[in-house]
Amino acid sequence: MASLTREEARQRAQLITVNRMEVDLDLDRGSEHFGSTTRIRFSCNVPGESTFLDLRSVSTGSVTLNGGSISPDAVVDGRLPLTGLAEDNLVEVVATMAYSRDGQGLHRSTDPADGEDYVYGHLFLDAAPTVFACFDQPDLKAPYAVTVRAPQGSVVLGNGRATQTSPGHWELSETLPLATYFVTVCVGPYVSVHDEHDGIPLGIHARRSLQRELEHHAPQMFEVTKQSFDHYHRTFGIRYPFGDYDQVFVPEFNAGAMENPGCVTFRDPMLYRGAATREQILQRSNTIAHEMAHMWFGDLVTMRWWDDLWLNESFAEFMAYTATSAATEFTDSWVEFGIARKQWGYAAERAPSTHPVAGSPAPDAQSALENFDGISYAKGASVLRQLVTHMGEAAFTSGVTAYLRSHEHGNGELAEFLAAMEDAHGSPLGEWSRAWLETAGVDVIALDRDGMMTRTTPEAYPADRPHSLDVAGFTDGAEAFRTTVTLDRPRVEVAGVARDVTLLVPNAGDLTWAQVDLDDATLAALPAGLSRVTDPIARGVLWGAVLTGVFRSSVGPRVAVDVFTADWPHEGHDALMSRVALAFTDRVVPQFVPTALVESVDGRIAGAALMAFQGAEPGSDRAIVAARVLASTTTDEDRLRAWVDGHNLPDGLQGDADFRWIVVRTLARLGLADDALISRVEADDTTLSGHLAALAARAARPGIPDKQWAWSELTQNRERSNYELNALATGFWSGGDVDNLRPYAARYVSDIPHLAQWVGADALDHVATLAFPARVVEPETVELVREAIARPDLTAGVRRAMGDELSKLEEALRSRARWA
Q: What is the mean pLDDT of residues 672-677?
A: 98
Name which of 538, 563, 541, 542 is nearest 480 in CA terms. Answer: 538
Handedness of CA 545, 550, 552, 553 (dihedral sign): positive
Distance, C-alpha 375 to centroid of its chain: 12
- Architecture field, domain 1-189: Sandwich (2.60)
Candidate CATH numbers 3.30.1540.10, 1.10.287.110, 3.40.50.300, 1.10.390.10; the one for domain 301-436: 1.10.390.10
**How far is it, in rounded angstroms, from Cα 485 to Cα 102?**
48
- Under the banding of pLDDT at 50, 70 and 90, the label for residue 1 is low
Distance, C-alpha 412 to centroid of its chain: 24
What is the chain's alpha carbon radius of gyration, rounded to the nearest angstrom? 27
Residue 820 has a pLDDT of: 84
Residue 223 has a pLDDT of: 98
Global pTM reads 0.97
Residue 231 has pLDDT above 80, yes or no: yes
Q: What is the mean pLDDT of residues 331-339?
A: 98
Residue 451 has a pLDDT of: 97
Active-site annotation holder among 22, 171, 279, 291: 291
Contacts of 242 by beta carbon, 8 Å cutoff, 6+ apart? 159, 175, 176, 261, 262, 295, 299
**How far is it, in rounded angstroms, from Cα 592 to Cα 551?**
8
> Of all residues in the chain, what percent are helix, strand and coil, respectively (each to 5)?
50, 20, 30
Cis bond upstream, residue 125 (ω within 30): yes
Q: What is the mean pLDDT of residues 447-460?
A: 97
pLDDT 10s digits, 298-325 = 999 999 999 999 999 999 999 999 999 9
**How far is it, in rounded angstroms, from Cα 117 to Cα 119?**
7
Phi, psi angles (nearest 5°) of residue 492: -135, 135
Sort strands 33-44 and 16-26 into parallel, antiparallel or unpaired. Answer: antiparallel
- Under the banding of pLDDT at 50, 70 and 90, the label for residue 362 is confident
**How far is it, in rounded angstroms, from Cα 150 to Cα 169?**
6
CB 593 within 8 A of CB 601: yes
Residue 161 has pLDDT above 70, yes or no: yes
- Under the banding of pLDDT at 50, 70 and 90, the label for residue 368 is confident
Q: Is 424 left (phi over 0), alpha (psi -120 to 50) or beta?
A: alpha
Residue 372 has pLDDT above 90, yes or no: no
Q: What is the mean pLDDT of residues 436-462?
A: 97
If 0-12 CB within 10 Å is exposed, 13-18 middle and 19+ buried, where does residue 750 land? exposed
Residue 2 has a pLDDT of: 80
The DSSP bridge partners found for residue 410 are 301
Residue 440 has pLDDT above 90, yes or no: yes
SS3 324: helix
Name which of 206, 202, 185 is nearest 194 in CA terms. Answer: 202
Ordered DSSP codes for 161-205: -EEEEETTEEEEPPPSPB-GGG--EEEES-EEEEEEETTEEEEEE
User: What's the chain's average pLDDT?
Assistant: 97
Q: What is the mean pLDDT of residues 804-818?
A: 98
**How far is it, in rounded angstroms, from Cα 446 to Cα 429?**
27
Residue ranges covered by each domain of the chain: 1-189, 301-436
Residue 367 has pLDDT above 90, yes or no: no
Phi, psi angles (nearest 5°) of residue 135: -95, 95
SS3 146: strand
pLDDT 10s digits, 514-559 = 999 999 999 999 999 999 999 999 999 999 999 999 999 999 999 9
Report helix angle 557-567 to 796-819, nearest 10: 90
Alpha helices in 616-674 (DSSP H): 621-633, 637-644, 657-669
The DSSP bridge partners found for residue 70 are 63
Q: How many helices (H) and strands (E) does the chain have?
A: 28, 28
pLDDT 10s digits, 69-111 = 999 999 999 999 999 999 999 999 999 999 999 999 999 999 9
**How far is it, in rounded angstroms, from Cα 685 to Cα 689?**
8
pLDDT 10s digits, 750-798 = 999 999 999 999 899 999 999 999 999 999 999 999 999 999 999 999 9
The Cα-based distances of 173 to 90, 148, 239 in angstroms read 21, 12, 19
SS3 417: helix
Residue 339 has pLDDT above 80, yes or no: yes
Q: Is 291 a catalytic residue?
A: yes
Residue 600 has pLDDT above 70, yes or no: yes
**How far is it, in rounded angstroms, from Cα 719 to Cα 712?**
12
Residue 421 has a pLDDT of: 98
